[in-house]
Chain A
Amino acid sequence: MATLAPTTQWFKGAKDDYRVCGVTTLKVDMHAERLIIANAVMAVVCLVLGGIAALLIALTRWQAVHLLDATWFYRLLTLHGIDMLVAWIVFFEMAGLHFGSTALLNARHAAPKLAWTGFIMMMVGGLMANAVVLFDPKSTVAFTAYVPLKAHPLFYLSYILFAVGALITVITFFINIVVAKREGRFEGSMPLAVFGLMTAAILATYTLLEGAAAIVPAFFWSLGVLPKYDPGIYRNFFWGFGHPAQQVNLAAMVAIWYMLAQITVGIRPLNEKFSRLAFILYLFFINLGSAHHLLVDPGLTFAWKAVNTSYAMYLAVLGSMMHAFSIPAAMEVALRAKGYNKGLFGWLRNGPWNEPGFGALVMSMILFGWIGGVTGVTIGTEQINMLAHNTLRLPGHFHATVVGGTTLAFMGFTYYVIPLIFRKELKLKKWAVWQPYVYGVGSALVSLGMITSGLQGVARRNWDITFAGVVPGTVNLTLAIFGIGAIIAVIGGIMYVTIVLASILTGPRLEATNLLLVSGTNNPLLESTKLTNEQMEDKQNQPKGTLVLVFAFLVWFAVYYLSNWWLLGRTWFIK
């Protein structure tokens, strides 16, 4: 079994700049630590900016409140997309990449200067995008900036700066891995979490290159150097960036799921092959999902759309369904091995529900899979997309994946980063216990409100849908659910930011002494190494409960999916 800290010598002969973590016994390079902190801080700054915008635009779409005027609504909508979907998540992922390629491997950061260059470019790009959108009225072009809607050249330049900065950071991740391997920091294969982060990094590389293919011509077009830019081509390239960017989030989130499960429950993956193959499926097939955004575009054939939208044969979906089994199954086995063996779900009842990372993990998996995944596959079906394209069902889907899923997982992970990397005591622990549930319930309502509104035809990115004059009365109800959900989610967001700020700004530097924050003084990370093969294979410990859960999931999936075909069959004939 794995040793926590290989005894290889640190950076032969050179000046040592590391500390040994008291909890994990792993070495933490100080360069990496500072990079993680910088990226995490920028992530939270962007989350705050995007969160303020979120509250205001949600209160505008909640028809009964209708807060902002049209100009500010569209402006803040643009800002919200950039700060949340790109800046918050990517900054956090960059922190994750620095963490995964150094601390998790017991290795040093091999290219800190390059990494700082990347960070500064991202920071300038991110802040510049905010400034341009806020101060240039013409740059209210929404996050997608669909050509020929033209923003200020600085808008495109800020995207380019951010993307190149991110690409540089991703490159330092690969450098770190190669150097760690050469220097013998780890033996054999990478840990599964790093494997997942590696998947994210590879996806990020071609995502960012496609982003350049979309945005660089747009930059020259906005300057007048390029006379014409075909909107169909732009859409193709943009979504070659925009959709895979969410798959980077997916891979990073799943890696963090495995880490949270290990931190809070002490799992040992049931079968490394199974989990790694699931990541490999992402790698090969998930980029085809870019076509999801082009399903009702002119100029593309059925065959092209069907093959691409289905990830060849839903093979990336298969990857997610594999993780959906393997993570809870590993948790079940670990908990059963601890003696929580009663019935099908005794292990689940006895999970550490008051541990912030566990709450975040469970809520994130439920929201991502049961709402985000199911609705995503459904509206990503070629013909069904006609019912859903550009309605509120779309943001309903991706708020479940990116907010309820990714963001919530990242928030849960932050609570462990604070003692382990920031080396500050986590304050407001009681808040941290509740925060994942508050935020999870809020984002669930946001998604459900949006999806049910979209089912009734309510358009996304629309300041006042009552102009359409066709909106049935029930839309007011579903938009109110959305608005109330947004307020709850924002309260959860404020709790998160307050916990983070209270922890890192007050109190002295304190070496972490305990892995768990609330639910005990044991160290599940160490416990996981003591799970023997006999325990893993014991008949008593098999994940029967999880199998029931995933079959229930499949039934729900089938019901939702098939009812959408039924809905489609009732509309006008079209071909």
Chain B
Amino acid sequence: MLAPEKIWWKPLGRLEKTWLTVAFVWCVFLTVMMPLWYFMGKQNVPAETYRTTSADYAAKVNAFVDQYKVGEDTVNGVTLPIVEAPPGSDVYLRASTWQWFPILQFQKGETYRLHISSMDLQHGFSLQPVNINLQVLPGYDYVATIVPTTTGEFTIVCNEFCSLGHHTMIGKIIVK
């Protein structure tokens, strides 16, 4: 709160130097971890993105469902198709207020190119209890290349506020 003495540009004390060095090394470590994991780790944030429109994307989802539909199930009282595409293929998930469409079915250990886009507002793709979370924007076709490593029924929760029915926006993924 008080003005410093006239010349305050002074060398650091021994303890200050110690802490500054240690803290700086820690910061460098934090920095290095990200590229290291990028090249070595198996969980990285998807970056592949395409421009799209609601109409184009909806058409792709419908074609995908028509081609690979294997059954039906209800989520939140609404009957939705279960869709299973062969490993390696493009699978499409559509977010809209307040529904994830369709139900996707995967085989454990296989790779899929999961497309996600929104028809209207921003949504949040939150796969539980796997706990993978991605942002979903209208006009952006976001492609995540995924390999399910556990089997069972998983819930997709919307975790971006999308007006009043937000908490009812639940979807399903099945891994066999």
Contacts and interface: CB of A to CB of B under 8 A. Distances in A.
Interface of A: 1-2, 4, 70-71, 74, 104, 140-142, 144, 146-149, 186-193, 230-232, 235, 258-259, 262-263, 269-274, 294-302, 305-306, 310, 313-315, 317-318, 321-322, 325-326, 329, 377, 381-383, 385-391, 456-457, 459-465, 467-470, 472, 525, 528-529, 537, 542-544, 546-547, 550-551, 554, 557-558, 561, 565, 568-569, 571-575
A472 B129 contact: yes
Closest 3 CB pairs of A and B: A459-B159, A272-B8, A314-B27
A442 to B, nearest CB: 25
Given A71-B164, A525-B2, A386 B37 contact: no
Interface string B130-147: 111111111111101111
Contact of B33 (A186, A271, A529, A565): A565
A299 B49 contact: yes
Given A2-B3, A462-B167, 20 more contacts: A146-B161, A149-B121, A193-B1, A262-B2, A271-B12, A272-B4, A297-B135, A300-B47, A310-B31, A315-B27, A317-B27, A321-B19, A383-B37, A385-B133, A387-B131, A390-B135, A461-B161, A528-B2, A574-B42, A574-B132
Contact of B128 (A1, A2, A470): A470
B78 to A, nearest CB: 13
A23 B128 CA distance: 59
Given A386-B133, A461-B166, A296 B45 contact: yes
Interface in B23-65: 23-24, 26-28, 30-31, 33-35, 37-38, 41-47, 49
Contacts of B137: 231-232, 235, 297-299
Given A1-B5, A297-B135, A572-B148, A313 B28 contact: yes
9 contacts: A70-B164, A191-B3, A298-B140, A299-B137, A321-B26, A322-B19, A389-B159, A390-B126, A550-B19
A231 B95 CA distance: 15
Nearest to B42: A573
B167 A467 contact: yes
A144 B135 CA distance: 14
Nearest to B35: A306
B30 A310 contact: yes
Contact of B43 (A142, A386, A463): A386
A468 B170 contact: yes
A189 B45 CA distance: 46
Contacts of A148: 120-122, 138
A34 B141 CA distance: 54
Contacts of B139: 230-232
A160 B8 CA distance: 41
Contacts of B30: 310, 314, 317, 377, 381, 561
Nearest to A459: B159
Contact of B41 (A317, A387, A569): A569
